[in-house]
């Protein structure tokens, strides 16, 4: 059975967040280890799935990509929350940052970090870095490899870019006064993986984009059993009213 679904960026973020929570590596770390959820728009949705509540707009973000005149206007959140650290199922939000928690993580623990660019076929993501010390990624990159922490990268298919991230990374490092692009590899979870994790159905992206709120949207052709499609339809109904971030 095949069916098409169109997901806005906000709907995709919610779907991906649900998929992250359902991933076996994340579930194992949730019960037996430590999870650190970095800041970002997609990671805001991930944090909400674990907190089981909404987080205030822009209360769990760092850098944002915005037009010159955002509509509606953006106001900095007055209710910022601390980084979400989960240890053996217990949520901690006491001021410890993910970069600090990473120092004491063990093999099999998980860091969840969103991305700004994606080469889906190559399973490589990219993160914009503007801080002289590497920002969040620079803060956990050493422990990530030194302690063999699992990096989970929730990223929507709208972040797909037309150049090889590794090549563009080198270009961005050469006499560029702006941000650089840092390649990241790990467990990449897009809408496609989320649908598989949540229902077992196979999704294919067949188009992208739209207007009047569908800018950045993805059109997915999903193939699955009647039971799988019913499960997916229920999820789509659940996220249908997801408002733009």
Cα-based distances in Å from 64 to 39, 40, 138, 193: 11, 8, 18, 25
Which residues have C-beta within 8 Å of that of residue 72, sequence separation ≥ 6? none
Is residue 49 very low, low, confident or very high in pLDDT (cuts 50, 70, 90)? very high
* Mean pLDDT computed over 77-84: 83
> Residue 83 pLDDT > 70, yes or no?
yes
The percent of residues in the chain predicted with pLDDT above 90, rounded, is: 80
* Mean pLDDT computed over 186-201: 98
User: Which pLDDT does position 77 carry in this prediction?
Assistant: 62
* Mean pLDDT computed over 16-31: 98
> Residue 53 pLDDT > 90, yes or no?
yes
Cα Rg for the chain, rounded, in angstroms?
18
User: Which pLDDT does position 66 carry in this prediction?
Assistant: 77
- In contact, 33 and 25? CB cutoff 8 Å: no
Reported for 76-82, long-range contacts at CB under 8 A and 24+ positions apart, including other chains, are 80/56, 81/55, 81/56
Angle at CA of residue 80, ends 75 and 81, nearest 5°: 155
Going by their DSSP bridges, the two strands 2-7 and 187-189 should be labelled as unpaired
> Residue 131 pLDDT > 90, yes or no?
no
Residue written as token pair 């809408």: 191
Torsion sign, CA atoms 154, 45, 34, 78: positive
Is residue 244 very low, low, confident or very high in pLDDT (cuts 50, 70, 90)? confident
* Mean pLDDT computed over 21-27: 98
> Residue 122 pLDDT > 90, yes or no?
yes
- CA distance linking residue 232 with residue 7, whole number of Å: 12
* Mean pLDDT computed over 221-242: 97
**DSSP classification of residue 241:** T
- CA distance linking residue 81 with residue 64, whole number of Å: 17
> Residue 136 pLDDT > 90, yes or no?
no
User: Which pLDDT does position 153 carry in this prediction?
Assistant: 98
- CA distance linking residue 44 with residue 178, whole number of Å: 25
> Residue 64 pLDDT > 90, yes or no?
no
- Measured torsion, CA atoms of residues 199, 200, 206, 207, in degrees rounded to the nearest 10: 30
Q: How far is CA 87 from the centre of its chain?
A: 20
> Residue 245 pLDDT > 90, yes or no?
no
Look at 170 and 70; give whichever has higher pLDDT: 170
- In contact, 94 and 154? CB cutoff 8 Å: no
> Residue 78 pLDDT > 70, yes or no?
no
- In contact, 110 and 26? CB cutoff 8 Å: yes
Residue ranges covered by each domain of the chain: 17-191
Residue written as token pair 């806005």: 8
Look at 138 and 92; give whichever has higher pLDDT: 92
């Amino acid at each position: 059975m095949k069916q098409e679904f169109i997901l806005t960026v906000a709907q995709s973020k919610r779907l991906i967040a649900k998929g992250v929570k359902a991933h076996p590596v994340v579930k194992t770390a949730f019960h037996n280890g430590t999870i650190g959820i970095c800041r970002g728009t997609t990671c805001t949705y991930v944090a909400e799935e674990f907190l089981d509540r909404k987080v205030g707009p822009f209360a769990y973000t760092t850098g944002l990509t915005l037009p010159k005149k955002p509509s509606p206007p953006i106001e900095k959140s007055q209710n910022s929350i601390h980084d979400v650290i989960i240890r053996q199922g217990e949520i901690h939000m006491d001021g410890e940052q993910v970069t600090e928690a990473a120092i004491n993580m063990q093999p099999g623990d998980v860091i969840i970090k969103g991305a700004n660019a994606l080469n889906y076929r190559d399973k490589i993501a990219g993160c914009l870095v503007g801080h002289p010390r590497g920002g969040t990624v620079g803060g956990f990159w050493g422990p990530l490899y030194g302690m063999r922490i699992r990096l989970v990268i929730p990223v929507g298919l709208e972040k797909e870019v037309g150049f090889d991230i590794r090549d563009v990374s080198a270009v961005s490092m050469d006499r560029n006064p702006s941000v650089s692009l840092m390649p990241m590899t790990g467990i990449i979870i897009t809408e496609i993986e989320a649908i598989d994790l949540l229902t077992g159905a196979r999704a294919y992206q067949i188009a992208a984009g739209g207007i009047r709120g569908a800018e950045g949207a993805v059109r997915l052709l999903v193939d699955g059993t009647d039971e799988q499609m019913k499960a997916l339809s229920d999820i789509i109904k659940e996220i249908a009213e997801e408002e733009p971030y």
